[in-house]
Amino acid sequence: MGRAFVYVILGGGVAAGYAALEFARRGGYSRGELCIISEETVAPYERPALSKGYLLPEGAARLPGFHTCVGANDELLTTKWYKEQGIELVLGTKVISADVRRKTLFTGTGETISYKTLIIATGARALKLQEFGIQGSDALNICYLRNIDDADKLVNVMKSCPGGNAVVIGGGYIGMECAAALVTNKIKVTMVFPEKHCMGRLFTPKIAEYYENYYASKGVTFVKGTVLTSFEKDTTGKVTAVILKDGRHLRADMVVVGIGIRANTSLFEGQLVISMENGGIKVNGQLQTSDSSVYAVGDVAAFPIKLFDGDVRRLEHVDSARRTARHAVASILEPSKTRDIDYLPFFYSRVFTLSWQFYGDNVGQAVHFGDFTSSSPRFGAYWVNKGHIAGAFLEGGSRDEYEAISVAVWRKAKVTNMAELEKQGLAFAIQE
């Protein structure tokens, strides 16, 4: 069985949804010329909701409420919308191999799908504990979080142990957001991670200390600088305790694991250039891969960041997925009018009543500012590299304040006096 399309979007996540809307807005295809192939059984949705609204004990977010592109305050693209737009949704279908030279994809259902132009939007997969040599991580009450099925499992496991104990493995984004959600669901949480403090790749020790104290005030216990080595299980296969390298046993009614991701590039290894540094599919400023008919966007793409002097990065954040997707479609449909992408990296998180944003790169010397003591805080940090602002973080800011720090990073605002910058704090960005 074989089908032919002009445009194929491989993957049905955040980037796919935003690419579809961009195709529709630009009217760059005829009915039946564009398809999205996704292993997931639902139309593209806003993945960030899975660790936030989806886990709320009351009034939880559910589909169709958070299909793309509501996260950017744009249209809600339901399956009906795709039908109306003449975009074919090939759902519940995994592509198992690809032949770039013949412009053909092969699905697990035995179908052959060919394209003239391909957009790879396969995102990433959660790293599993097995990959670190830890056996038994497929137990009934061990949860990962990447897609709706994972989120449903997490919700069910939470409901099965009200008032129980959860061990959260990993102190990154998933660990922090899931720990907050578990506490909100009245589950007692212990977080275990190898670093000295949470969010080790982004937060400074001082920023991390604020969040760790806040979490501790909500009853979360931190076990830092160690990793788990094995599990204790009951006769039904459920984990009952987590055993750590330092010998400690932590009682557990459930476990949540967030130990990072790997880009889904395997279909294209040996066919497209893959970045050795970050494991993404290498693209140029038009999001075009080493094969001119193939584009890559979102978590799987390694693209040049002009602001960082063209350094090639693979970003694992939703804003980047949305923007690279739109940009690729513009490049495909109007190549002569589309300049190279000029992207300002943007990360954010919301936990409990806290909310932060970060722009740029956390390189150079960090200069903190604001009030780190309040329970309704407003504090942040600038990263100053070679006399210019390279990155900025702000907790508890207003829309205008976030805008101000983003502009300071975008313009690489000049810093002549570090002590003055510290004294001015947020005012430095606002006055810029």
Decide which of ligand NDP, ligand FAD, none touches 185; Cβ closer than 5 to 8 Å per partner kind. none
First to last CA, the chain: 60
> Quick one: tokens of 311?
């350094």
360 binds ligand NDP (CB under 6 A): no
Residues counted in the chain: 432
* 351 residue type, one letter: V
List binders of ligand NDP among 240-259 (CB under 6 A).
Answer: 258-259
- Shortest gap between Cβ of 422 and ligand FAD (angstroms)? 28
- Shortest gap between Cβ of 347 and ligand NDP (angstroms)? 5
Q: Give, as one character, the DSSP assignment of residue 274.
A: B
- Shortest gap between Cβ of 292 and ligand FAD (angstroms)? 21
What would the DSSP string read from start to end of 356-392?
EEEEE---SEEEEEEESS-SS-EEEEEEEETTEEEEE
321 binds ligand FAD (CB under 6 A): yes
- Shortest gap between Cβ of 311 and ligand FAD (angstroms)? 19
Whose CB is nearest to ligand FAD? Answer: 13
Report phi then psi at 118, rounded to 5. -115, 135
Please pick, from the candidates 141, 349, 357, 362, the single residue that binds ligand FAD as defined by CB under 6 A. 349
Report phi then psi at 342, rounded to 5. -130, 90
List binders of ligand NDP among 297-316 (CB under 6 A).
Answer: 316
265 binds ligand NDP (CB under 6 A): no
- Shortest gap between Cβ of 350 and ligand NDP (angstroms)? 8
Q: Contact region for ligand FAD (CB under 6 A) — 47-55, 365-373, 378-386, 405-413?
A: 47-55
β-strand pairing of 2-4 with 112-114: parallel
Radius of gyration of the chain (CA): 22
Whole-angstrom distance, CA of residue 268 vs CA of residue 421: 47
Please pick, from the candidates 39, 40, 177, 395, the single residue that binds ligand NDP as defined by CB under 6 A. 177
List binders of ligand FAD among 254-273 (CB under 6 A).
Answer: 264, 267
Burial class (CB in 10 A: 0-12, 13-18, 19+), 425: buried
Q: Look up tokens 């066919």; give the residue.
A: 271
- Shortest gap between Cβ of 213 and ligand FAD (angstroms)? 22
With both helix axes pointing from N to C terminus, report the angle between 173-184 and 205-217 in degrees, rounded to the nearest 10.
20
Dihedral angle of Cα 1, 266, 317, 360, to the nearest 10 degrees: -140
CB 366 within 8 A of CB 383: yes
- Shortest gap between Cβ of 299 and ligand NDP (angstroms)? 7
Letters for 73-92 (x = contact with ligand NDP by CB under 6 A, - = none) are --------------------
170 binds ligand FAD (CB under 6 A): no
Residue 162 contacts by C-beta under 8 Å, 6 or more apart in sequence? 186, 187
94 binds ligand FAD (CB under 6 A): yes
425 binds ligand NDP (CB under 6 A): no
Decide which of ligand FAD, ligand NDP, none touches 194; Cβ closer than 5 to 8 Å per partner kind. ligand NDP
279 binds ligand NDP (CB under 6 A): no
Q: Look up tokens 């960030």; give the residue.
A: 48
- Shortest gap between Cβ of 125 and ligand FAD (angstroms)? 8
Where on the chain is the footprint of ligand NDP (CB under 6 A)? 51, 132, 169-175, 177, 193-195, 200-201, 227, 258-261, 316-317, 347, 349
